[in-house]
Structure 1
Amino acid sequence: MSFKEEYYPSPDGLNLYYREYGSDQSASPLLCLSGLTRSSLDFHDFAERYSKTRTVYTLDYRGRGKSPYDANYKNYNPQVYIGDIYAFLTEKKIEKALFVGTSLGGLLTMAMAGFAKNFIAGAILNDVGPEVDKSGSSRILDYVGKEVRYATLEEAAEKQKELYRGAYPDITEEDWLGQAKSTFIYDEGAKNYRLNYDLNLGKALAEQLNSDEQVDLWPFFKELNDVPTLAIRGALSDVLSEAVFDRMKKENPNMETLVLKNRGHVPLLNEPETLTKLDDFIARVR
């Protein structure tokens, strides 16, 4: 394998999974944080590309991928995730990292900037900002935690294509199969493919979105003003609106940006235009 599979202890005793790619310590490592229901699998190609010049870590949050599920679904919340990330950085003795945050991962990156900015050498925010558009949050709430199973990965890929082709109008059949492989896992007992996360995430998300205690992330985002930051937006996104993206640029005039025409939520970070921008940006963050 091109990576090592490891575990680290969370503050409350769960052994959380991560992958480690490469070993070059000449620059800050890349710390990859995935979307709400996603896992380290999303960053495999990305990590292989950039592990030639620095170490890359890809984490599975609790309740995703190869990390254990939490018996208390209320622990599926950003405050607990931040504690887990802090525990990882401490366990690995990482003084600074270049955070790569997709969707939820970007929200956690902004939160880290507010709580523990000293760890952030740079930030890449993939289709996420301090405000999540209501149309996107409603769509996500509608599918997270719903039980779906498929007999084959090919069947899963067809369904993924049916549901999400609006966000990815130009990707290939091979790409759709790759999406299925990173979304579903084979269930030996049921002899079919199930979602690769704890379905209780849906219950946790519903409670959080309906709570009166919503956190204003704009002050956290502003903490990135003196940190190298790249924000990527899919032009078709229903999560990061054009209005919020424009405000982000005004609030942080030093922030570098990229808008992708044929992408919704979220860009896959493998688009040629994206890779050109990432290669340049990552090389400059030490």
Structure 2
Amino acid sequence: MAATIKSVQCISPAGLHRMAYKQWGDGANPRVLVCVHGVTRVGDDFDALADSLSDHYRVICPDVVGRGRSDHLRNPAFYAIPQYVSDMVTLIARVTAVDGSDGTVDWFGTSMGGLIGMVLAGQSAAPIGKLILNDIGPTLDPVALQRIAAYIGQELRFASFDDGAAFVRSVSASFGAHTEAQWHKLAADVLRQGEDGQWQRHYDMGLAIPLQTATAESARAGEAALWAAYDAIACPTLLVRGAQSDLLTAATAAQMVARGPRPQLVEIAGSGHAPTFVDPAQIAIARQFLLGQ
């Protein structure tokens, strides 16, 4: 079945906002997989994965608030994990309101999407049945975070799509090898042409504000909270690591395997942060964990 674009109304301390999501598969299917993207990406990243899994799941791919088709927050200070978790609880309530649903979903989270899933899965009576954490953990390498933060808040405009696509490709080199068609889609998903004819990235530049105002103390507190959430996860979990990832180090992955949900660990050769799961071999890893196929 073709994907459809829907939305759900959520709330922050600054007011209401709309979160858009793409739905794949039978709208009455009570078996739901939620796929959540990285910090500057969008739900369209999961088109190949969602198409592959829509024979078993209704696959829900949101644009986290501030990105893609979703609204921007009135106060950018709330671009943080607690707000995103709140929005996802609202989304899950919406998509599980079908006959036969037990109120739970499976979860695939890349980078930021994995952090959201980690915190949600660590809650008492969490609505997550199976969890895939794609190249993310409770300890985040500070050098890698600086690399990511450096480009998030840059107000860049490009004279042509090709110029914008070249930029996206350069900052996404750690994704690993892709075909030209795949690189084109990875760029097209996050570039939009403005009324002035120029191209720009499809997210709120205010996303950078919480990163810019973070302190060493707040970073330590955040890491402690993430480890506490991780250690509370009880559902079956798969941890995916890009073999050259600078965000999820091998040492952190080893810690994760030894504690909390004691996940299965799969490393993707030739990839850093983060594997995109557009390649059939990577999709097969997710399918095997989720469906046993």
- Using the size of structure 2 for normalisation, the TM-score is 0.89
Q: Give, in whole Å, the separation in 1 of the partners of 2:154 and 2:184.
A: 21
Q: Give, in whole Å, the separation in 2 of the partners of 1:27 and 1:93.
A: 7
Change in 2 beyond 3 A, CA 1:235/1:272: same
Q: Could you tell me which runs of 5 or more consecutive residues in structure 2 were left unpaired when the two chains were aligned.
A: 98-102
SS state at 1:10 partner: strand
Could you report, residue by residue, the CA deviation over 1:138-157 in whole angstroms, capped at 9, with x for unpaired residues? 10111111111222222222
After the TM superposition, which of the residue ranges 242-251 and 26-35 deviates more from structure 2? 26-35
After the TM superposition, which of the residue ranges 91-100 and 205-214 deviates more from structure 2? 205-214
Match status 1:177 vs 2:180: no
Change in 2 beyond 3 A, CA 1:5/1:103: same
| 1:64-75 equivalences in 2 (<5 Å) | 64-75=67-78
Match status 1:2 vs 2:8: no
Q: Give, in whole Å, the separation in 1 of the partners of 2:217 and 2:199.
A: 33
SS state at 1:268 partner: coil
Q: Does the CA contact (< 8 Å) of 1:28 and 1:121 recur in 2?
A: no
Change in 2 beyond 3 A, CA 1:55/1:147: same
After the TM superposition, which of the residue ranges 20-29 and 190-199 deviates more from structure 2? 20-29
After the TM superposition, which of the residue ranges 6-15 and 63-72 deviates more from structure 2? 6-15
**Aligned-residue CA RMSD in angstroms?**
2.1
| 1:116-195 equivalences in 2 (<5 Å) | 116-165=124-173, 167-187=174-194, 189-195=195-201
Name the counterpart of 1:87: 90
Q: Give, in whole Å, the separation in 1 of the partners of 2:43 and 2:115.
A: 17
Q: Give, in whole Å, the separation in 2 of the partners of 1:38 and 1:160.
A: 11
Change in 2 beyond 3 A, CA 1:169/1:83: closer
SS state at 2:5 partner: strand
Change in 2 beyond 3 A, CA 1:116/1:191: farther
**Aligned pair partner of 1:96 in 92, 96, 104:** 104
**Aligned pair partner of 1:40 in 43, 47, 68:** 43
Name the counterpart of 1:232: 240
What amino acid does structure 1 have at the position aligned with 2:273? H
SS state at 1:243 partner: helix
Runs (4+) of structure 1 moved beyond 4 Å?
A: 24-27
Q: Give, in whole Å, the separation in 2 of the partners of 1:27 and 1:147.
A: 41
Q: Could you tell me which runs of 5 or more consecutive residues in structure 1 were left unpaired when the two chains were aligned.
A: none
Number of equivalenced pairs: 282
Q: Give, in whole Å, the separation in 2 of the partners of 1:111 and 1:6.
A: 25
What amino acid does structure 2 have at the position aligned with 1:178? K
SS state at 1:149 partner: coil
- Using the size of structure 1 for normalisation, the TM-score is 0.91
Q: Give, in whole Å, the separation in 2 of the partners of 1:36 and 1:69.
A: 14
Percent identity for Structure 1 against Structure 2: 26
Q: Does the CA contact (< 8 Å) of 2:39 and 2:112 recur in 1?
A: yes
Name the counterpart of 1:222: 231
Change in 2 beyond 3 A, CA 1:200/1:210: farther
Q: Does the CA contact (< 8 Å) of 2:230 and 2:261 recur in 1?
A: no
Match status 1:243 vs 2:251: yes
Match status 1:199 vs 2:199: no
Shift of 1:169: 4.6
| 1:252-267 equivalences in 2 (<5 Å) | 252=260, 254-267=262-275
What amino acid does structure 2 have at the position aligned with 1:250? A
What amino acid does structure 1 have at the position aligned with 2:184? L
